[in-house]
Amino acid sequence: MLINADFHIHSCFSMASSKDMLIKNISSKSKLKGLQLIGTGDAFHPKWLDSIEESTTYSGDGIYSAGGSDFVLTTEVEGKNRIHHLIIIPDIDIARELSAKLPSKNKNTDGRPKTNYGGVELLEMVREYDCLIGPAHAFTPWTGMYKSYDSIYDCYEKKVDFVELGLSADTFMADTISELKDFVFLSNSDAHSPWPHRLGREFNQIELQDLSYSSIKSAFKHKKIKANYGLVPNLGKYHMTACTKCYKLINPVIAKENKMKCSCGGVIKKGVDFRISEISDFEKPHHPKHRPKYVHLMPLAELIATVYDKGVTTKTVQNLWQKLIDNFGNEIDILINVDLADIANIDSKISLAIKSFRNNSIDIIPGGGGKYGRITFEKQKKITTLDSF
């Protein structure tokens, strides 16, 4: 069976998360998105585990069901050097035991616990309980594993179960790093709200024998990820080296010469694009045989908002989004599968925008320093130079 899965989200108990990140809301919105399997997020938080038990039915072998959607227990942990790790957990009893075992001062107050454990200690701890583990948004400059290490084995010592790419990277970038050729890549949303322009903004198409934790583990082991879907990396808010105050894109060489200080007084953050260039072995990606396709897309509501130059939450955008959902079922199908002529019968501008994504004919003003990139649907002169001081 082929399913769409998003393994990394957060609950209402995580810092900066929406209070609407409840099981009932995540379930209903994930169906509109087109996801069949969702990570619960925050599975080391006792109150969130209580909520999961109260709000779901245990379907067996690690799967918790609610409102026609299925969940697997997941959590993100901030470890030593502020590196974030994603963990997939077999069941609630194990989640509670691991939560009690994890040395952390904030695990009862924040859905994403902080610990002084590094990658080695976390891997050893969770592997005792048959969990899956890998770096979350591995290249992100604030909390990604590669911001502190030049090799994944320097962080974990042993091979982990997957590498999560993050919003500012994709397969084409990551496959310039030779040590990652044997790893499964995950593309997940890291959503902090249940709305479909956040939930499932990146997701995985995965082949499972059945809907179970055992099958998920087997799929990772035997590299059964069939496709990764996600943002064009340039749209990621940390893709390029840029100032975190004024968001000006800065040549990384110049940034280093100026000790990562912008002329405006802000701090410059090294971009994912440049960080990968520092640790890559190949000028062009070398895709291993098991590597699936990576398909670029963006959330439907954001696409509509861009076309009509409106806010994502405005009535214009939401009404059109709902009309498309009512006609075609779910967002993922609209973005990937629905005939463009049928979409054009609802709105020709949106049909053309989706076509631009499908045939890779969009231009992008890249993001950096914490600001997302922007897209244009008419070919423009590409940016060939970066701002300097």
pLDDT in tens, 261-281: 999 999 999 999 999 999 999
Three-state secondary structure of 252-280: HHHHHHCCCECCCCCEEECCHHHHHHHHC
pLDDT, residue 387, reads: 42
Other Cβ atoms within 10 Å of 309 Cβ, number: 7
Cα–Cα distance, 7 to 55 (Å, whole number): 19
Q: Mean pLDDT over residues 369-386, rounded?
A: 63
Examine the pLDDT at 292 and tell me if it is beyond 60: yes
pLDDT, residue 376, reads: 78
pLDDT, residue 377, reads: 67
Examine the pLDDT at 250 and tell me if it is beyond 50: yes
Cα–chain center distance at 66: 23
pLDDT, residue 378, reads: 58
| Least confident range of 35-39, 127-131, 370-374 | 370-374
Q: Are the C-beta atoms of 384 and 373 separated by less than 8 Å?
A: no
pLDDT, residue 388, reads: 37
Q: Mean pLDDT over residues 317-329, rounded?
A: 98
Q: What is the DSSP letter of 302?
A: H
pLDDT, residue 360, reads: 85
The residue among 388 and 47 whose pLDDT is bigger is 47
Looking at 3.40.50.150, 3.40.50.2300, 3.20.20.140, 3.40.109.10, the CATH number of the domain 2-233 comes to 3.20.20.140
pLDDT, residue 160, reads: 98
- Phi, psi angles (nearest 5°) of residue 56: -125, 165
Cα–Cα distance, 349 to 372 (Å, whole number): 23
Examine the pLDDT at 113 and tell me if it is beyond 80: yes
Q: Mean pLDDT over residues 76-99, rounded?
A: 98
Three-state secondary structure of 115-184: CCCCHHHHHHHHHCCCCEEEECCCCCCCCCHHHCCCCHHHHHCCCCCCEECCCCCCHHHHCCCHHHCCCC
Q: Find, among 362, 232, 235, 229, the residue nearest to 307 by Cα.
A: 362
Give the domain ranges of the chain: 2-233, 297-358
Q: Find, among 237, 204, 228, 235, the residue nearest to 302 by Cα.
A: 235
Q: Give the chain's mean pLDDT.
A: 94
Examine the pLDDT at 219 and tell me if it is beyond 80: yes
Q: Are the C-beta atoms of 202 and 173 separated by less than 8 Å?
A: no
What does the block give as tokens for 312?
């994502």
Cα–chain center distance at 120: 23
The residue among 387 and 351 whose pLDDT is bigger is 351
pLDDT, tens digit, 9 for 90 and up, residues 9-41: 999 999 999 999 999 999 999 999 999 999 999
CA distances from 313 to 190, 301, 347, 389 (A): 20, 8, 18, 37
pLDDT, tens digit, 9 for 90 and up, residues 155-210: 999 999 999 999 999 999 999 999 999 999 999 999 999 999 999 999 999 999 99
Q: Are the C-beta atoms of 254 and 287 separated by less than 8 Å?
A: no
pLDDT, residue 375, reads: 86
pLDDT band at 361 (very low <50, low <70, confident <90, very high): confident
